[in-house]
A and B are shown apart, each in its own frame.
Chain A
Amino acid sequence: MGTITPIVMPKWGLSMQEGTVNAWLVDVGTQITVGMPILDVETDKIANAVEAPDAGLLRRRVATEGEVFPVKALLGVLADKDVSEADIDAFVANFVVPAADADDAADAAPAYQYIDVDGLRIRYARRGAAQGTPVLFIHGFGGDLDNWLFNIDAIGDKHPVIAIDLPGHGQSAVKLPGTSLQALADFVGRFMAVIDVPQAHLVGHSVGGAIAAQMVLSQPQRVASLSLIGSAGFGPEINTGYTDGFTRAASRRELKPVLELLFKDPSLVSRQMIDDVLKYKRLDGVTELLTALGTGLFEGGRQVAQPGLALAGASKPVLMMWGKDDQIVPVGHTAHAPPGATVEVFDGVGHMAQMERAGDVNRLILRHVGD
């Protein structure tokens, strides 16, 4: 009998338990290629397309549009032409949804952990493969580790993954070790020391990318490679209308247009996403902290430090990914990539390529860090 490949409900983010199938994007009988969007799924956080895990012929739509399915539930079946309908019936009937988070030891670990680093309580997630050099995700200004909800598990299939809430961000302590890239880079290095990770592949988004680049300069021994997305630190331009607006916005009404700047398709900004950001911004001290950080990093409306420009000769592999329609950090900064860097620009993508083009970003990172 030919190969049968299940299409299952993906797990986007550490807290995702279930998702709603909004729409099928392909008909039965369509020849699917790897990475092709095959159906739209919505969670309480975000809506996105599920991409084909493998190539094959779509033989069966198991999931009905509008219905809710748990993570890893069977949504559809890919199979060769010569597989009989009866075999597919049997496959569907015998498919067992793995119990949530019980299929491997890493998944059974708590989704989030907390650790004290230099007196600051830091939240992080550590998951994925047991062996290998870990991949460390560093978010940007005002972000948190949930910015990586489409990436953590995909990369974790092959590598150990760690994602940090930077100090003053997410659910880490509302306190900064300093307002310079250098201070933040030093802190991430201290964090790696405390959790006993001597070296990692760094994946940085926006200011997180600039922090990663700074780490290459000041503590190269901690860095195996750099994967940068819409990264700061490669030129002076920065949309401080975004960073100031993000800092100032106190209500849903003010915040929504600001968050919409992040995406090419503003409808990706969900009610839940706005709610989560507001919950963070309402914490005592966050507005003052973001004001101080914004001033430290972007004094006078320009990026104060540009460590990316000093990467030439650092002999670390660099992957640079950018949305062509990035409204926060201009895509033109790819011109300042160090010699030998791999540069990928995505059409129709804004500042959040790791969410807007998750499948491509994940594949590029996996190729960059070595499958």
Chain B
Amino acid sequence: MARKLSMKMAINEAIDQEMARDPSVIMMGEDIVGGAGCKGEEDAWGGVLGVTKGLYAKHGARLLDTPLSESAYVGAAIGAAACGMRPIAELMFIDFMGVCFDQIYNQAAKFRYMFGGKAETPVVIRAMVGAGFRAAAQHSQMLTPVFTHIPGLKVVCPSTPYDTKGLLIQSIRDNDPVIFCEHKSLYAVEGDVPESSYAIPLGEANVVREGKHCSIVTYGLMVHRALDAAATLAKEGVEVEIVDLRTLSPLDMDTVLDSVTKTGRLVCVDEANPRCNIGADIAAQVCMQAFGALKAQIEQVSPPHTPVPFSPTLEDLYIPSAGQVADAVRRTLKGGKH
């Protein structure tokens, strides 16, 4: 039975159901129970924003509060995964990946390849991504391209509570390391979520809106900006198609190419910094694989190539807006052959 659930509670329910289903699922993170040294159950934090609240009462010691040392517990989670557990490590902010990066890109991502396919590392590293939280340059980044660059890592960034639950369940069941990126500005967004467990395959994009004039390819919070832009453009008689990538690695280029082949126009919207981001990769691949289908220049909407500003006014200007997305669509519609 479906009912409304916030993205935050969809994450909680996915972890809860997988822990109940599979005893090898464990969780580690800072303050995910009660803060190191606290009694846990009574004064539970449930993580920095309360995502795991209530899980300790149900699953007890399978949730481990860790010291403030990402390098230690992310390494421990990866080691546990290599030994047959299915750990979920919660990293609070993706910005903190730097201190535990060797464990991720040089160890977890490599095991399957370097041990001839005999080693599996079924670890999920969950982290909040994105700007808009007034948390300044060190807690606001959209670092997704850093991880899609590395073979051996799967990268997920959902836009709805329904997708979040199904993709997180699949990520936990997946036998490879998954970087699960949760946009903090979407935590409170509600949507229909079935009570039962379900898994959405990794590497499958979703066409969230059909249209014939222009394709917008995006993910995460930007899906909602694209939908807002589409509503504006519809009043001008422009029907855009929106592809929500959902999984950034592996990437569902088939769905992107189908859409661009149909519309002939492409706007890539990516909250990550513009150099070498997901949108730039999509644009390059479309040029190589479907150049003949393009009727006009590809447009890219991304923030400026700067750290996320601390000033609220500047931060709001930094994040791509629905207006910028709509303008990009109008530019590509004006350009090229008619």
Q: What are the interface flags for A161-197 relative to B under an 8 Å C-beta threshold, 1 for contact and 0 otherwise?
A: 0000000000100100000000000000000000000
Q: Which residues from chain B contact A250 at a C-beta distance below 8 Å? A: 201
With A123-B1, A250-B201 as given contacts, are A282 and B207 in contact (CB-CB < 8 Å)? no
Any chain A CB within 8 A of the CB of B198?
A: yes
- Complex: chain A residue closest to B1, CB-CB: A171
- Among B166, B198, B254, the most chain A Cβ lie within 10 Å of the Cβ of B198
Any chain A CB within 8 A of the CB of B316?
A: no
Does A271 lie within 8 Å of B210, measured CB to CB? yes
Shortest CB–CB separation between residue B156 and chain A, in angstroms? 15
Residues of B194-211 whose CB lies within 8 A of A: 194, 196-201, 204, 206-207, 210
Q: How large is the interface on A (under 10, 10 to 19, 20 to 34, 35 or more residues)?
A: 10 to 19
Given A251-B204, A253-B254, 12 extra CB contacts under 8 A: A171-B194, A174-B196, A250-B201, A251-B201, A252-B204, A252-B255, A253-B255, A271-B207, A271-B210, A279-B198, A282-B199, A283-B198
Any chain A CB within 8 A of the CB of B314?
A: no
Any chain A CB within 8 A of the CB of B2?
A: yes
Shortest CB–CB separation between residue A289 and chain B, in angstroms? 12
Q: What are the interface flags for B272-308 relative to A under an 8 Å C-beta threshold, 1 for contact and 0 otherwise?
A: 0000000000000000000000000000000000000
Shortest CB–CB separation between residue A292 and chain B, in angstroms? 18
Shortest CB–CB separation between residue B258 and chain A, in angstroms? 8
Q: Which residues from chain B contact A283 at a C-beta distance below 8 Å? A: 194, 196-198
Any chain B CB within 8 A of the CB of A114?
A: yes
Any chain B CB within 8 A of the CB of A104?
A: no
The number of residue pairs between A and B whose CB atoms lie closer than 8 Å in the complex comes to: 32
A279 to B194 CA separation, bound complex (whole angstroms) = 9
By the criterion of a CB under 8 Å from any partner CB, how many residues of chain B are at the interface?
A: 17
Binding site for A on B (CB under 8 A): 1-2, 162, 166, 194, 196-201, 204, 206-207, 210, 254-255
Any chain B CB within 8 A of the CB of A371?
A: no
Any chain B CB within 8 A of the CB of A103?
A: no
- Contacting A284 at CB < 8 Å: which of B199, B200, B204? B199
Q: What are the interface flags for A246-290 relative to B under an 8 Å C-beta threshold, 1 for contact and 0 otherwise?
A: 000011110000000000000000010000000100111000000
With A123-B1, A171-B1, A251-B204 as given contacts, are A282 and B166 in contact (CB-CB < 8 Å)? yes
A253 to B203 CA separation, bound complex (whole angstroms) = 13
Q: Which residues from chain A contact B198 at a C-beta distance below 8 Å? A: 279, 282-284
- Complex: chain A residue closest to B209, CB-CB: A271
